Structure 1
Amino acid sequence: MKKSAYFALCALAPLMLATEAAAQESVLAAAPATVEELVVSGPIVFRNRTEDAVPTLSYDLEYFQRFEPLTAGDAMKRVPSVAFLSDILESDGARLRGLDPGYTQILINGERVPGAGVDRSFFVDRIPAELIERIEVVRSASANRSGDAMAGALNIVLRDGYSLDGGYLRAGGILLDDKRVRETVGGVFAGAVGPGRLLVGANIQGRRNPKRKMSYRYDEPGGKLVDIETQTDTRNGTDYSVNASYDVEMEGAKLQLTGYFVRTDRRQDEDSIEYRAGRVQPADLLTLNDNNVDILTDNWTVGAKYVREMLGGKTKFKVGYAVLDDDQDEVEEEYEYLRDSNPFPEDDRFTGDLTFTKLKDKEFSAEVSHTLPVAAGELEFGVSYVDKDRDTSITTDRNRITIPNAPAARPTLPGAYGPFLPEAGGLNAIEERRIDPYVMFSAEAERLKWQAGLRWETTETTITDETAPAAERRTKNDYKVLLPSASFRYSLSETDRLSVSAARTVRRPNFNYISPATLEAELGDNDFLGNPDLKPETAWGVDVGVERRLGSRGVAGVNVFYRSVKDLIEIANTGEEGSEGEGTFVLTPRNAGDGKVWGIEFDLSTPLTSVGLPNTGVFLNYSWLDSDVNDEFGSRRFNDQAKYVLNVGFIHDLPEWGAAFGATYRKQGDAYGRMVGEEVTTKYGADLEVFVEKRFGDRFVLRLTGSNLLDSSKDETFNKFNTIADQIDRSFDEYELESETAGPVFQLVGRMTF
């Protein structure tokens, strides 16, 4: 990877020199919008109607900004078909069309970014909303983009030097349900510097999420209550971000240099108490548990794009280098009291686990492409290269002490832990190399715009796992996938248009699935063995949509989609007996299944001018989602896919008072997931958010927002089993009902332009 870094620096150097040489011939683009227009006095903003052949929905930051989202994830909650399976007040792993985050391609400025998830997913709550210019929902694939977008892609476009002119400061406070206040402060500046335009932004965001959980555990549904658990879960920290871009337009050429850095510094503090038979009193105390996780995550990316007219067309050069550095230190300490038949303190003990998780994912990318005018349209061809190195280290130690007397204080110190040994599968390195050539043809007639292309993705993967048997520690897996795609858009009238897209996409295996280590009693009492020979899942998909322009600013659309997934990765039984003895097995992932995903998506975004309310804008999107896959227990939906996602809201502007107010309501359908040893049903309550703002002149706006005003809850039902036979026979190990709640959050923010 060092060579790749040197290559990146060498590639950037001549581009910077080219900027200097062409400075005298610089011609800047059309004037960007002023900060007053975007930040203070702008009109109600609706969904953009894009001109892409590939069906794409585009939402500017101003579409979300009046509700003051903290992160990109908070903003994505309001776009069609995006669901989350996160804790209350958290929006981390985006699930486009309700599918696992690994099926959704997250892009930043059109480029893939490495994520901490073993399913290759990127947590969108790591990107502050202040960095965003717009969010695009790309429903289908095209040949000039990476094909790992089975559910679609969410493209986070960051502000650049041409997105605004001037600067603004943002400051405020967030009042949480536990009466704590966290700070938010930031600023952005954009303007002409030298031959180009520079944008610089910085943001400090206090984060806090105090939640409460209650669990009731039974021996089976409708059976005897065994115990209950009360828990507080507080996540407290600070996010820091800096972003910059420098754009230069020259005669016959364009150059863009970009970079951003985001640091997440967070502590998760979970304290829980278990009581026997549901009696919440000291005499029935079973356990006290203290679980703390310190998280420090850095994401940073630098990149350059240079476009030049040459060779009868336009040639584009892109290079990028992205790093994710994630350190998590977790300690879980538990005092046992009445867990067994012997009362405390005769035969009970203290148990402590201290685990260090370190993950570093480095990704270098480069692409060269050329667009050439031909008789009927444009021919684009190119090749992209990706070099990924992912190193994981998970080491842990368990400390057990028999308690002779009731503990007056924690009996351990940090020095009491050690030595630290790697967990099974917790010491590995994955190297992935991709070379993806593509060709794409596009054309436009009077009413028709279309494109079609082929992408050939080749992947070479080397897995080194130090915890696997010596003969299996280093394995390789290579595969190649051909990905055709085609899209067209046809104007039925001046206001209506039809779009149709078809594409083949791919999903590469989870990192933890390809590591050749055995995890004992990982799935119930069954062992889990990784499979480095896994091939990727592939899917043929189609999207058909109709869109209508409503007046000069409104738009409404309906879209139907279908995906047919092949080589679905499912957990299979090897037939070998597991480490827990008779009735347990060694399970492994295999390309053993097929699946189908389908749904209908509707969205509306329009002012109510036709009914005499030009200063009122309404927003509505509803997605009905369904799927089918067969595992060894029968038919089910794709794991944890929400049945529907609903968003509805309005904004009303009072121009004569320099004020505005609005509200949004969001509801997500139930989700069900099934794997060996556990089945989970998740239900979310509705979420209501409101805002009120007052503008003072042209340069200052004060905004009060409230979220989670309905005290939304996350309710989960767990069916737990020890063996596959138990799960088939419905012989329960445990049946658990868990509810997580959090209170309202209020935010007061002022923005001043300069």
Structure 2
Amino acid sequence: MNHAKKFAPHPLAAALALSMAAAAQAQTAPPPESPASAPKPAARPATPPQPQRPAQKPPEATKTEQLQRVEVSGGTDESKRRASTAAKIIIGREEIERFGDNNLGEVLKRLPGVTTGGRPGRGGDIRMRGMGGGYTQILVNGERMPPGFSLDQLPPEQVERIEIMRAPTAEHGARAIAGTINVVLREALQKRLNEVRLAVAEEKGRLRPNASWTRNDKLDDNGGAYNVTLNAHQGDNIDDIAVRATTRDLHTGQESVQTTTGTNENKRRALNMNARLQWRLDAGSNFSLQPFLVSSKGNSHNQSFQTPGINYNSADTHSDNEFTMLRVNGQWTRKLGEETRLEMRGGVGRGDMKTHSLRKEYLNGIAAPSRVQDDSSNGDNHSWSLVGKLSHQLLPSEHSLVSGLEAEGQKQNQTRVCKENGLACRGVIEFGDEFEASTLRTAAYIQDEWNPSKQWSAYAGLRWEGIESKSAALNYAVKNRSSVWTPLLHAVWKPDEKSRDQVRMSLTRSYRSPQLQDLVARPSINAQYPTGSNTANYADRAGNPNLKPELAVGVDLAFERYLSKGGVMSINMFSRRISDLMRNVTELETVSWSSVQRWVSRPRNIGNAKTQGIELEAKFRLDEFFDDAIPLSIRSNLSVFHSSVEGIPGPNNKLDQQPKGVANFGVDYRLRSAPVTVGGSINFTPANQIQQSVLTAATTSKKRVFDAFALWNVNMNTGLRLSATNLSPLDYSNGSVITTTDQRITTESGGRTFTQWQLRLEMRI
């Protein structure tokens, strides 16, 4: 598909172009200036421009002074990363807000080894090392979120920092074959903050307003503090529908083509809130309370036309959905001695999801619909968690011992009411309209972190985790139990105790547990062929109550060099050996809901797999290496992945959704002549093809996303940020190839993508 259009000037584009031009002029116009007096390139909007010093020191003295200033700044993200024994990347507020992104997926896509699914510029599901489908553990404040929640529902304004852990640890859990992403919400700090952000974004003529407010202050003079963050936003978009399915008869060579075209229009409104209140109860104990609310409501309108029609020629679908999640966490810590601390955490939550869709299908231009389906579902999720953690410092041996117990429970209920032409839908008749399922997870762990010498740091941990899942459904009750032991070893070696270089090593065991919906065997009948036989590309879906968790043995090896001006250069290599790999497999089955065999897709344990890769990262200022260079801030990374699945023919027998690699390059610069910072980045993921099973293969087009921003610090407390996402939009598509003994069905779907512009006012009051 090719929907390229001539570029039309846009008012926001013109403003961004003028800012870029000003930057280019400033690079040649300013008087000579020493590196020490040059302002930092990535200033926060509320930070005023660095004043010019009246007198400059000689270059040698200036350089020495700057090195000393960086050395004492021990609280930076890079210094915390350097001090961690287990491999960790920390992304703070400055990096999160740099491009003014509307969702966390767009923030995370620029990090080493991270890829996102979906259309360019829209965020999408988060994958570390290219591995999707539950290989990446996603946490919010160290807690797993209920079904229906995704990180895209969390505005970046609510996030204090993002922690990326490339290898599992006993404390954060071992359900992290690819790694762990822990999103930490805004914290209650002692300093006062009253921040307002007002923004409006535009994509294809649709406006997306956004407003957020953050308040941080003391509760009392005894260490009490609070933080409240509110965000309200609206998102409207319209996408093309373009699907082409080609069926080739392998015996006769005859081909038939079916196309589906149309548009899909979406509207969404959301309100998010999180708060943290903390008190010092006495000299040795603290208590904090953390409520967290996500509420969204949306609707969509889908119009499609099918040629030639199977059961219809055109269809009109209107859908409404609501999602609300409220969770309250509490944390109590107490010092039991000079070197011992007890921490207790607990939380309760509830999530509610409601959906309703009305679909009308028309045949041969007849005004009255040939088929009407009215489908409603109401679901709720109740969750709770309880964690106990005991920390003890052994002196003078410098061992830091931590042990803990965890318990977590979730219960889901769902009721569905579906009518087709006034009668109960297929599926509801056979499997009932009510569904109930629950999971109980318990865990225990112990870990020890110590320094054998001034050049070595070591970590050893052991974790046991057990999961019990069960469901109650008509004719499809399920009960599944599994448990896993995961030993974990990490080490850091410095060639010299004062060296900026260090080597990381990890040997770990991790796992991926089946999702509850994968265990429940209750089928979902494909609406395209509700009765009789179906085709492989319109397969029914069902679960598998006999699924076992995947187990992985992993090795990580990394070299890191920390630069004098806060940058880092690293090379990280990893390898994972996975057993009992889970994969959705489409097969022709004899089923209870049809008198003839039907194609059914269900998850299965298909065997073993292995994956390995290398991740390169360079984050630095250009004047780190060239004394007279412009102090550009550069962030770049390149990751290359390879995997193979046993029992599936090559050459593309890779892990599901894993591309060959991903690359990022970003640069920003603060003008010397004006309080303006400009920058841009490019994210690239090559086209991908994966052989998912002997019968099925999946394809994805390349993704190339250009982003840019310009920030004007109006004064000390006010900033105006203009940003653009997906500046050079490409058509995006994905597809599948299904080959049976009789035919090959090739399907491709996708559409155009568009540039999104945003103007945001940032104020501290």
TM-score, normalization by structure 1? 0.82
Q: Which residue of 1 aligns with 2:486?
A: 483
SS at match of 2:457: strand
1:500 Cα deviation from its structure 2 partner: 0.7
Q: In the aligned structure 2, how far is the partner of 1:630 from the partner of 1:580?
A: 33
Pair 1:573–1:629, CA change in 2 (3 A): same
Equivalent pairs, count: 675
Pair 1:684–1:268, CA change in 2 (3 A): farther
Q: 1:207 pairs with 235, 251, 255, which one?
A: 235
1:512 Cα deviation from its structure 2 partner: 2.0
**What are the equivalent positions in structure 2 for 1:431-450 lying under 5 Å apart?**
431-444=438-451, 445-450=453-458
Q: In the aligned structure 2, how far is the partner of 1:53 from the partner of 1:648?
A: 28
Q: 2:103 pairs with 63, 71, 90, which one?
A: 71
Q: 1:466 pairs with 473, 482, 487, which one?
A: 473
SS at match of 2:632: strand
1:710 Cα deviation from its structure 2 partner: 1.1
Q: In the aligned structure 1, how far is the partner of 2:672 from the partner of 2:429?
A: 63
Q: In the aligned structure 2, how far is the partner of 1:328 from the partner of 1:87?
A: 25
The structure with the greater share of residues assigned to strand is 1
Deviations 1:547-594 (A, max 9, x none): 111222111111011111112224579996346667757775443411
Q: Which residue of 2 aligns with 1:695?
A: 713
Any conservation in 2 of the 1:46–1:59 contact (CA below 8 Å)? no
1:138 Cα deviation from its structure 2 partner: 0.3
Q: In the aligned structure 2, how far is the partner of 1:423 from the partner of 1:653?
A: 65
Q: Which residue of 2 aligns with 1:17?
A: none
1:652 Cα deviation from its structure 2 partner: 0.8
Do residues 595 (structure 1) and 601 (structure 2) align? no
Letter in 2 for 1:625: F
Q: 2:273 pairs with 221, 242, 249, which one?
A: 242
Any conservation in 2 of the 1:396–1:420 contact (CA below 8 Å)? no
1:478 Cα deviation from its structure 2 partner: 2.3
1:271 Cα deviation from its structure 2 partner: 1.7
Q: In the aligned structure 2, how far is the partner of 1:191 from the partner of 1:627?
A: 50
Q: Which residue of 1 aligns with 2:644?
A: 628
Pair 1:479–1:420, CA change in 2 (3 A): closer
Pair 1:394–1:686, CA change in 2 (3 A): farther
Do residues 740 (structure 1) and 736 (structure 2) align? no
Q: Which residue of 2 aligns with 1:353?
A: 373
SS at match of 1:73: helix
Do residues 155 (structure 1) and 182 (structure 2) align? yes
Any conservation in 1 of the 2:416–2:433 contact (CA below 8 Å)? yes
SS at match of 1:150: coil
1:499 Cα deviation from its structure 2 partner: 0.6
Pair 1:287–1:554, CA change in 2 (3 A): same
Deviations 1:682-739 (A, max 9, x none): 113311111112111101111111111112332122224xxxxxx343712x322222
Do residues 567 (structure 1) and 580 (structure 2) align? yes
Any conservation in 1 of the 2:384–2:410 contact (CA below 8 Å)? no
Do residues 232 (structure 1) and 299 (structure 2) align? no
**What are the equivalent positions in structure 2 for 1:117-196 lying under 5 Å apart?**
122-162=149-189, 165-177=192-204, 179-194=205-220, 195=222, 196=224
Q: Which residue of 2 aligns with 1:753?
A: 764
Pair 1:490–1:255, CA change in 2 (3 A): farther
Q: In the aligned structure 2, how far is the partner of 1:218 from the partner of 1:419?
A: 28
Deviations 1:500-532 (A, max 9, x none): 111111211121221133455696576655332
Pair 1:106–1:130, CA change in 2 (3 A): same
Any conservation in 1 of the 2:503–2:557 contact (CA below 8 Å)? yes
Any conservation in 1 of the 2:168–2:176 contact (CA below 8 Å)? yes
Any conservation in 1 of the 2:346–2:386 contact (CA below 8 Å)? yes
Q: Which residue of 2 aligns with 1:23?
A: none
**What are the equivalent positions in structure 2 for 1:194-593 lying under 5 Å apart?**
194=220, 195=222, 196-220=224-248, 224=255, 226-249=257-280, 251-276=283-308, 287-311=313-337, 313-323=339-349, 325-338=351-364, 345=366, 350-374=370-394, 375-393=396-414, 395-400=416-421, 421=428, 424=431, 427-444=434-451, 445-461=453-469, 463-468=470-475, 473=477, 475-493=478-496, 494-519=499-524, 524=537, 530-570=543-583, 577-578=590-591, 589-593=603-607
Q: 2:123 pairs with 91, 100, 103, which one?
A: 91
Between the two proteins, what is the percent identity of the paired residues?
21
TM-score, normalization by structure 2? 0.81
Q: In the aligned structure 1, how far is the partner of 2:724 from the partner of 2:398?
A: 50
Q: Which residue of 1 aligns with 2:84?
A: 52
1:669 Cα deviation from its structure 2 partner: 2.5
Pair 1:652–1:476, CA change in 2 (3 A): same
Pair 1:65–1:46, CA change in 2 (3 A): farther
Any conservation in 2 of the 1:216–1:225 contact (CA below 8 Å)? no
Q: In the aligned structure 2, how far is the partner of 1:223 from the partner of 1:613?
A: 64
Q: 2:670 pairs with 628, 653, 666, which one?
A: 653
Any conservation in 1 of the 2:373–2:420 contact (CA below 8 Å)? yes
Q: Which residue of 1 aligns with 2:59?
A: none
Letter in 2 for 1:608: L
Deviations 1:393-422 (A, max 9, x none): 252434349xxxxxxxxxxxxxx9999947
Q: In the aligned structure 2, how far is the partner of 1:394 from the partner of 1:740?
A: 34
Pair 1:456–1:129, CA change in 2 (3 A): same
Any conservation in 2 of the 1:213–1:741 contact (CA below 8 Å)? no
Pair 1:586–1:191, CA change in 2 (3 A): closer
Any conservation in 1 of the 2:85–2:457 contact (CA below 8 Å)? yes
Any conservation in 1 of the 2:386–2:408 contact (CA below 8 Å)? no
Any conservation in 2 of the 1:295–1:328 contact (CA below 8 Å)? yes
Q: In the aligned structure 1, how far is the partner of 2:763 from the partner of 2:676?
A: 16
1:643 Cα deviation from its structure 2 partner: 1.7
SS at match of 2:370: strand
Q: In the aligned structure 1, how far is the partner of 2:186 from the partner of 2:542?
A: 45
SS at match of 1:100: coil
Pair 1:419–1:285, CA change in 2 (3 A): closer
Any conservation in 2 of the 1:598–1:625 contact (CA below 8 Å)? yes
Q: In the aligned structure 2, how far is the partner of 1:181 from the partner of 1:310?
A: 55
1:358 Cα deviation from its structure 2 partner: 3.0
Letter in 2 for 1:385: E
Q: In the aligned structure 2, how far is the partner of 1:535 from the partner of 1:43?
A: 57
Q: In the aligned structure 2, how far is the partner of 1:422 from the partner of 1:312?
A: 65
Any conservation in 2 of the 1:486–1:502 contact (CA below 8 Å)? yes
Q: Which residue of 1 aligns with 2:529?
A: none
Stretches of structure 1 lacking an aligned partner (at least 5 in a row): 1-35, 117-121, 278-283, 339-343, 402-415, 721-726
1:453 Cα deviation from its structure 2 partner: 1.2
Q: Which residue of 2 aligns with 1:405?
A: none
Letter in 1 for 2:283: E
Letter in 1 for 2:260: E
Letter in 1 for 2:492: R
Letter in 1 for 2:200: G
Pair 1:423–1:747, CA change in 2 (3 A): farther
1:59 Cα deviation from its structure 2 partner: 1.2
Q: In the aligned structure 2, how far is the partner of 1:613 from the partner of 1:240?
A: 45
Deviations 1:299-357 (A, max 9, x none): 3322122222215633333323253524242425243334xxxxx559x9522222223
Pair 1:576–1:417, CA change in 2 (3 A): closer
Q: In the aligned structure 2, how far is the partner of 1:573 from the partner of 1:683?
A: 23
Pair 1:524–1:600, CA change in 2 (3 A): same
Pair 1:159–1:572, CA change in 2 (3 A): closer
